């Protein structure tokens, strides 16, 4: 998909999760990952039956915000389910799906996407686990493969291109104007400083330049100061994604009378600069497409090692989630049998009171229940390993009438969605028995009363 389409689709991206969660019960959680060259939505559906409805709700919401027909929106997205979701997100977080393989910025963007979703209340527990596992995998890839030592990034490749296009490659002698105060602007500022650049002016149409330079350095410029800063600049970097695109005529006007070569780096997905800027005399334009074309190919062995780590981590994550789901089913079965046992013991005590005989009966019943639950518990693990957990829960519903509520089922995968499970609850093995009238029987029900 071309970057222009990605930019159009991502209009209103921050509002999509809250809007979908408020309007549609088929979505129980959502996280948006929107970067300079991607727009992905990770969502959670309460059950397998809700998946298609959840996808339709998300497509409809994106269409509403972007103005693109629903059919076109649907055709633009690639859908992942099951283990493929974790594998995709883990690869993205590790930089394996980036224009610059192994880039560093994307891992931070994955973390921020989760933080933002948690802040708005859109992130479900399953999605939190999925994104946390993705961050851990990115760290493992960085630490255990050669990709982590290369330090490549979209920003670094763009600056390398700018240096190659300049008559003077010494960044310490360059004057730079930076548009934006977001993640990529921060990465650009850090990369410029690494190269010895100190004359950096920062402009933000939202008025956040002062706060940005206070923590990162540089000089904040206002709209009134911007034309003068642009006239003196050797390099201009756009990272803002503002709706106010700078036209070629604007550049030509502020640079009138100057024969100083200018390199414009446009890293904004929606473009901070009109592509026609590249046709001006003495102006070179570097875009995300330029970076993608110039990005170096990484060694095959490093990529293969990283891909193996990602696949292994995704497989492990899915196994953990399946185990969580089966734990919920096992807990439901234990609750059912515990309720039956308690009901029977109420009848015994109603007839015989809280006696040693009643205690011996309860001890025997509890031991029998543990033996009866052993095989179903073992089979639950075996079926989970075979990916047949739905067969198990269906059997519980059919044989015992146990209604596996949505909270106890594994939430179903959805567009770029993992298959996270629900946390298992632990039923206490023992507790003082309460009579219906609230009185507590003092006898230890874990062992039969001993007679002298």
Report the CATH number at residue 14: 3.30.460.30
Q: What is the pLDDT of residue 148?
A: 66
Cβ neighbours, 10 Å, residue 331 = 16
Whether 132 contacts 119, CB under 8 Å: no
Who has greater pLDDT, 81 or 426?
A: 81
Locus of tokens 């633009």: 76
Q: What are phi and psi of 141, to 5 degrees?
A: -65, -40
Who has greater pLDDT, 390 or 68?
A: 68
Within a domain: residue 423? Answer: no
| Rounded Cα distance, 98 and 267, in Å | 14
* Domain extent for 64: 3-150
Question: Catalytic residues, which ones?
Answer: 36
Q: What is the pLDDT of residue 199?
A: 96
- What's the order of all strands across the beta sheet hosting 175-179? 219-220, 199-203, 175-179, 235-238, 262-266, 283-287
Among the listed residues 364, 340, 366, 373, the one whose alpha carbon sits nearest the alpha carbon of residue 431: 366
Tokens representing 226 are 């911007």
Is residue 342 predicted with pLDDT exceeding 80? yes
Is residue 179 predicted with pLDDT exceeding 70? yes
Q: What is the pLDDT of residue 14?
A: 85
Within a domain: residue 440? Answer: no
Give me the number of domains the chain comprises: 2
Spell out where 379-419 has E strands: 412-413
Chain segment 23-60, per-residue pLDDT in tens:
767 898 999 998 877 899 999 988 778 888 889 999 99
| Rounded Cα distance, 208 and 130, in Å | 32
Q: What is the mean pLDDT of residues 257-278?
A: 88
Tokens representing 321 are 């989630």
The dihedral formed by the CA atoms of 219, 223, 228 and 229, expressed in degrees to the nearest 10: 30
Q: What is the pLDDT of residue 35?
A: 83
Q: Which of 234, 261, 290 is the last residue of a domain?
A: 290
The dihedral formed by the CA atoms of 192, 162, 276 and 206, expressed in degrees to the nearest 10: 0
Residues 164 and 240 in one domain: yes
Q: Which of 94, 123, 150 is the last residue of a domain?
A: 150
Cα–Cα distance list, 174 to 151, 235, 260, 281 (Å) = 23, 7, 12, 19
Q: Provide the 3-class DSSP secondary structure of residue 272.
A: coil
Q: What is the pLDDT of residue 174?
A: 95
Question: Biggest alpha carbon distance in the chain?
Answer: 111
* Mean model confidence pLDDT for the chain: 80
Residues 84 and 215 in one domain: no
Among the listed residues 171, 184, 164, the one whose alpha carbon sits nearest the alpha carbon of residue 266: 184
**Bridge partners of residue 452, in order along the sequence:** none
Q: What is the pLDDT of residue 258?
A: 81
Chain segment 90-143, per-residue pLDDT in tens:
999 998 888 778 788 889 899 999 999 999 999 998 899 999 999 999 999 988
Q: Which of 290, 322, 348 is the last residue of a domain?
A: 290
Q: What is the pLDDT of residue 50?
A: 84
Q: What is the pLDDT of residue 243?
A: 64
Residues 7 and 136 in one domain: yes
Residues 52 and 116 in one domain: yes
Within a domain: residue 320? Answer: no
The CATH number for 205's domain is 3.40.50.720
Within a domain: residue 113? Answer: yes
Q: What is the mean pLDDT of residues 188-193?
A: 93
Q: What are phi and psi of 246, to 5 degrees?
A: -85, 125
Chain segment 296-312, per-residue pLDDT in tens:
666 677 888 889 999 99
Q: What is the pLDDT of residue 131?
A: 96
Within a domain: residue 132? Answer: yes
Within a domain: residue 285? Answer: yes
Q: What is the pLDDT of residue 310?
A: 93
Tokens representing 89 are 């997100």
């Amino acid at each position: 998909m071309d970057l222009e389409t990605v930019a159009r689709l991502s209009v209103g991206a921050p509002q999509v999760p809250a809007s979908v969660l408020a309007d549609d019960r088929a979505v129980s959680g959502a996280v948006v990952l929107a970067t300079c060259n991607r727009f992905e939505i990770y969502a959670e559906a309460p059950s397998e039956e809700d998946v298609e409805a959840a996808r339709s709700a998300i497509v409809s919401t994106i269409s509403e915000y972007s103005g693109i027909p629903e059919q076109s929106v649907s055709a633009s997205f690639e859908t992942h389910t099951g283990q493929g979701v974790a594998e995709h997100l883990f690869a993205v977080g590790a930089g394996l799906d980036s224009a610059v393989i192994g880039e560093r910025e994307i891992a931070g963007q994955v973390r921020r996407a989760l933080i933002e979703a948690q802040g708005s209340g859109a992130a479900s527990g399953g999605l939190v686990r999925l994104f946390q596992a993705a961050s851990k995998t990115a760290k493992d890839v960085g630490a255990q493969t050669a990709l982590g030592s290369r330090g490549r990034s979209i920003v670094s490749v763009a600056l390398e291109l700018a240096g190659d296009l300049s008559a003077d490659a010494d960044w310490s002698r360059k004057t730079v104007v930076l548009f934006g105060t977001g993640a990529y602007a921060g990465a650009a500022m850090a990369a410029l400083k690494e190269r010895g650049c100190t004359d950096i002016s920062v402009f933000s149409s939202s008025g956040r330049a002062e706060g940005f330079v206070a923590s990162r350095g540089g000089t904040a410029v206002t709209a009134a100061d911007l034309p003068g800063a642009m006239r003196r600049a050797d390099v201009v970097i756009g990272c803002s994604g503002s709706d106010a695109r700078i036209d070629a005529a604007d550049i030509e006007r502020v640079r009138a009378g100057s024969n100083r070569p200018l390199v414009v780096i446009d890293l904004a997905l929606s473009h901070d600069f009109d592509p026609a800027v590249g046709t001006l005399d003495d102006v070179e334009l570097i875009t995300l497409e330029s970076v993608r074309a110039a990005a170096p190919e990484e060694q095959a062995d490093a990529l293969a090692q990283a891909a193996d780590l990602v696949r292994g981590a995704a497989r492990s994550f899915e196994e953990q989630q399946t185990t969580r789901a089966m734990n919920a089913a096992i807990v439901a079965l234990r609750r059912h049998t515990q309720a039956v046992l308690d009901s029977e013991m109420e009848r015994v005590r109603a007839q015989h009171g809280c006696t040693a005989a009643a205690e011996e009966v309860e001890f025997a019943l509890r031991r029998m229940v543990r033996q009866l639950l052993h095989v179903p518990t073992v089979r639950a693990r075996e079926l989970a390993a075979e990916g047949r957990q739905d067969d198990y829960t269906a059997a519980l519903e059919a044989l015992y009438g146990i209604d596996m509520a949505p909270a106890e089922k594994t939430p179903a995968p959805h567009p770029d969605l993992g298959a996270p499970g629900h946390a298992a609850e632990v039923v206490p093995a023992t507790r003082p028995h309460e009579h219906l009238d609230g009185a507590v029987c003092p006898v230890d029900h874990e062992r039969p009363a001993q007679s002298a």
